[in-house]
A and B are shown apart, each in its own frame.
Chain A
Amino acid sequence: MTENIIEAKGLTKVFNGYLVAVDHVNFEVKEGEIYGFLGPNGAGKTTTINMLITILKPTEGTATVCGHDIIREANMVRRKIGVVPQEYTADEDLTGYENIILCADLYGIPREISKKRALELLDLVQLTDFKDKKVETYSGGMRRRLELACGLINRPRVLFLDEPTLGLDVQTRAKIWEYIKLLKKEYGMTLFMTTHYLEEADALCDRVAIIDHGKILVVGSPEELKSSLGGDIITLSVNENKNISGLIEKIENVREVKHVKNGYRIKVKDGELTAPLIIEALRSEGIKVTRLSLSKPSLNEVYLEYTGKSMRDQEETVEDFRVRRMALRRARRR
């Protein structure tokens, strides 16, 4: 049986007495896996990570990391974890090398060890050529890599990554993914990451927890989650205002029909074959299909299934979250 390296029990954070950021969350992370928290901005991902890395006290509930309680044995937790925060936290006035040594000193690592290790890590994240340049001259990708190196200086058992590729271009993102995979493969490290990129969760995570409004909606490997959808998804719009769900359900291969905004979401077996059947069947009833799209199971579909709204749609309605997110940030800073 694999040991659970992280176990959260009823983990809750309420800011200012009313803003529930994380709501009685339970989950386990196994040693050696990459575990992802997937959810939109403001879902409670960063708040959860901040509680696990002991910089925020839970309002209720607790968690253990590496067998230590995050409240009572915070200092033991701190020694065994590495953190790659969302922000660029390296000191801009210092060089990359100096920053890593500073991190090493914060863990009390003796200088003779930290010097050697700093050079190894700089090599790992391919910053050796820039190690004596001030961080203010670094690009976003270089800074992210430096944060990664800093997070590894104490050879952590668990590495926490908060939105590790936020705001990075495609190539740099691929590079960071490579390092993350390497850490798991070569060192058997456990990685806990948050992301709001579906592709990222799909490409990296062994297991994904979809989180929204501070609650975990579902947990599973990306494959499990996708196959749990039970087939392909057809989305269509028609020129008929009446609810025709009953009509569609009768068509061959159709498993489930949901009436959603502007149309229907239909779960089917063999989407390619079924789509023409649906169009045909509806036409024979005098209903015209105005729009149809077929999608293979993806995490976005999973997300849609569990939250009833598309993650991508949400990203477009930035205004809504921005209000919530700003409120959260303000509360968190205080």
Chain B
Amino acid sequence: MKGEELSGNPLHGLWALTNRELKKWYKEPFILLISIIQPIIWMALFGKAMNISAVFTRNLPQGLPPELSEQIMKQTFGTSDYFSFMAVGMLSFVTLFTTMFSGMSIVWDRRLGFLNKVLSTPVARSTIIFSKILSATVRSLIQASIVLVFAFLLGMKAGPSFTPISILGIYAILFMLCMGLSSLFLMIGIRSTRWETQMAVVNLLNLPLMFTSNALFPVSMMPDWLQPIANVNPITYTTDAVRQLLLYETNFNQLMLDFAYTAVFTIVIASISIILAWRYLSK
């Protein structure tokens, strides 16, 4: 047996490693079902139960015009329907919870020795990381699509600016958020050998990331000390972009800002995680 002729493609192995992660998901009907049902339950129960519109319509003091409640809703949430507002937030929520597993999987790979095996092959170190990011992104986008479909089925109303092209914009920005978040969680996982630690850290991060964004509640209504935090949270920008495209009359300046912010976040975080991968995977 002689040494092997190899393809010069620097990306070889990327699809193989990505597909390995995805296979675990789509080849297990049970896991697939659970992961699809979960966001739907969130949206259907949480979204419908938090019936904020009713706060204003049902509690409106006597003698005030009923249109007033709609006006308040519109001023607060940008749409008269809280469910639509919150369903968009759910897209970010699903992304957040799916990408957190990308960090878990590298911890497992390290524990089971799979990572060492891959490291002894000529696969680029950045490919290993990139495959994790990519598989988490694919999963998140598919789950987000399901959430989006169900949101419409459950009564989300598209806004006046909505066109089929908006869908492309929605995917583009969600794609960036997925990449950024999975890079973030991988960065945390890359040195960790205990999945318990990883789990704890990720759980500690997830809910604050969620609640300090505009996913469930508009930033303008938050207390003053919280607003600056919400204004640096990338989820705020992504969620706003999706709302601009899907629900609101699109404000293009705001939309550009949303895209730019999310893009910068993603590029910075992904670069850092790939640099860390280089450093830590070649001990």
A161 part of interface (Cβ distance < 8 Å): no
Encoded as 1 (CB less than 8 Å from any B CB) or 0, chain A from 50 to 61 comes to: 100111110000
Q: How far is the CB of A11 from chain B (nearest CB, A)?
A: 15
Q: Considering the chains assembled together, what is the distance between the CA atoms of A187 and B1 in angstroms?
A: 6
Q: How far is the CB of B224 from chain A (nearest CB, A)?
A: 43
Q: Considering the chains assembled together, what is the distance between the CA atoms of A98 and B22 in angstroms?
A: 13
User: A15: nearest residue on chain B (CB-CB)?
Assistant: B283
- Taking a contact as CB atoms under 8 Å apart, the answer to whether A81 and B6 are in contact is no
Q: How far is the CB of A276 from chain B (nearest CB, A)?
A: 54
Taking A56-B283, A78-B122, A108-B9 as contacts, is the C-beta distance between A66 and B3 under 8 angstroms? yes
Q: Considering the chains assembled together, what is the distance between the CA atoms of A156 and B1 in angstroms?
A: 7
User: A79: nearest residue on chain B (CB-CB)?
Assistant: B122
Q: Considering the chains assembled together, what is the distance between the CA atoms of A110 and B7 in angstroms?
A: 7
- Taking a contact as CB atoms under 8 Å apart, the answer to whether B122 and A107 are in contact is yes
- Taking a contact as CB atoms under 8 Å apart, the answer to whether A94 and B122 are in contact is no
A85 part of interface (Cβ distance < 8 Å): yes
Q: Considering the chains assembled together, what is the distance between the CA atoms of A54 and B282 in angstroms?
A: 8
- Taking a contact as CB atoms under 8 Å apart, the answer to whether A105 and B113 are in contact is no
Q: How far is the CB of B219 from chain A (nearest CB, A)?
A: 40
Other-chain residue from B3, B15, B120, B283 in contact with A155 (beta carbon distance below 8 A): B3
By a CB distance below 8 angstroms, the chain A residues around B119 are 54-55
Number of interface residues of A (CB under 8 A): 43
B1-17 with Cβ < 8 A to chain A: 1-4, 6-7, 9, 12-13, 15-17
- Taking a contact as CB atoms under 8 Å apart, the answer to whether B16 and A102 are in contact is yes
Other-chain residue from B15, B110, B120 in contact with A333 (beta carbon distance below 8 A): B110
User: Mostly helix, strand, loop or mixed at chain A's interface?
Assistant: loop
By a CB distance below 8 angstroms, the chain B residues around A107 are 4, 6, 12-13, 121-122
- Taking a contact as CB atoms under 8 Å apart, the answer to whether B120 and A93 are in contact is no
Q: How far is the CB of A329 from chain B (nearest CB, A)?
A: 10
B20 part of interface (Cβ distance < 8 Å): yes
- Taking a contact as CB atoms under 8 Å apart, the answer to whether A155 and B12 are in contact is no
- Taking a contact as CB atoms under 8 Å apart, the answer to whether A88 and B113 are in contact is yes
- Taking a contact as CB atoms under 8 Å apart, the answer to whether A155 and B13 are in contact is no
By a CB distance below 8 angstroms, the chain A residues around B116 are 50, 55, 85, 87, 89
Among B1, B16, B121, B193, chain A packs the most CB atoms within 10 A around the CB of B121
- Taking a contact as CB atoms under 8 Å apart, the answer to whether A89 and B121 are in contact is no
A91 part of interface (Cβ distance < 8 Å): yes
User: Mostly helix, strand, loop or mixed at chain B's interface?
Assistant: loop
User: B121: nearest residue on chain A (CB-CB)?
Assistant: A106
Encoded as 1 (CB less than 8 Å from any B CB) or 0, chain A from 103 to 135 comes to: 101111110000000000000000000000000
- Taking a contact as CB atoms under 8 Å apart, the answer to whether B23 and A57 are in contact is no
Q: How far is the CB of A167 from chain B (nearest CB, A)?
A: 14
By a CB distance below 8 angstroms, the chain A residues around B120 are 53-55, 78, 81, 83, 85
By a CB distance below 8 angstroms, the chain A residues around B152 are none
- Taking a contact as CB atoms under 8 Å apart, the answer to whether A94 and B193 are in contact is no
B118 part of interface (Cβ distance < 8 Å): yes
By a CB distance below 8 angstroms, the chain A residues around B123 are 106
B27 part of interface (Cβ distance < 8 Å): yes
User: B12: nearest residue on chain A (CB-CB)?
Assistant: A108
- Taking a contact as CB atoms under 8 Å apart, the answer to whether B4 and A155 are in contact is yes
Q: Considering the chains assembled together, what is the distance between the CA atoms of A233 and B23 in angstroms?
A: 59
Q: Considering the chains assembled together, what is the distance between the CA atoms of A83 and B122 in angstroms?
A: 12
B234-283 with Cβ < 8 A to chain A: 282-283
By a CB distance below 8 angstroms, the chain A residues around B16 are 101-102, 105-106
User: B282: nearest residue on chain A (CB-CB)?
Assistant: A57
By a CB distance below 8 angstroms, the chain B residues around A66 are 3
Other-chain residue from A74, A87, A155, A333 in contact with B1 (beta carbon distance below 8 A): A155
Q: How far is the CB of B134 from chain A (nearest CB, A)?
A: 15
Q: How far is the CB of A316 from chain B (nearest CB, A)?
A: 28
Q: Considering the chains assembled together, what is the distance between the CA atoms of A171 and B85 in angstroms?
A: 66
By a CB distance below 8 angstroms, the chain B residues around A79 are 3-4, 6, 122
Q: How far is the CB of B278 from chain A (nearest CB, A)?
A: 12
User: B7: nearest residue on chain A (CB-CB)?
Assistant: A108
- Taking a contact as CB atoms under 8 Å apart, the answer to whether B114 and A334 are in contact is no
B74 part of interface (Cβ distance < 8 Å): no
Taking A91-B20, A107-B122, A108-B13 as contacts, is the C-beta distance between A85 and B6 under 8 angstroms? no
Q: A93-B27, A105-B12 are in contact. List 15 more A-B contacts (CB 8 A).
A: A55-B116, A81-B120, A85-B113, A85-B116, A89-B114, A89-B116, A93-B24, A101-B16, A103-B117, A107-B4, A107-B13, A108-B9, A108-B13, A188-B1, A189-B1
Chosen A-B contacts, 22 in total, with CB atoms closer than 8 Å, are A55-B119, A55-B120, A56-B283, A75-B122, A87-B112, A89-B117, A105-B12, A105-B13, A105-B17, A106-B17, A106-B121, A106-B123, A107-B4, A108-B9, A108-B12, A108-B122, A109-B6, A110-B7, A154-B121, A156-B4, A157-B1, A189-B1
Give me the interface of A with B, judged by CB distance under 8 Å.
50, 53-57, 66, 74-75, 78-81, 83, 85-89, 91, 93-94, 98, 101-103, 105-110, 150, 152, 154-157, 187-189, 333-334
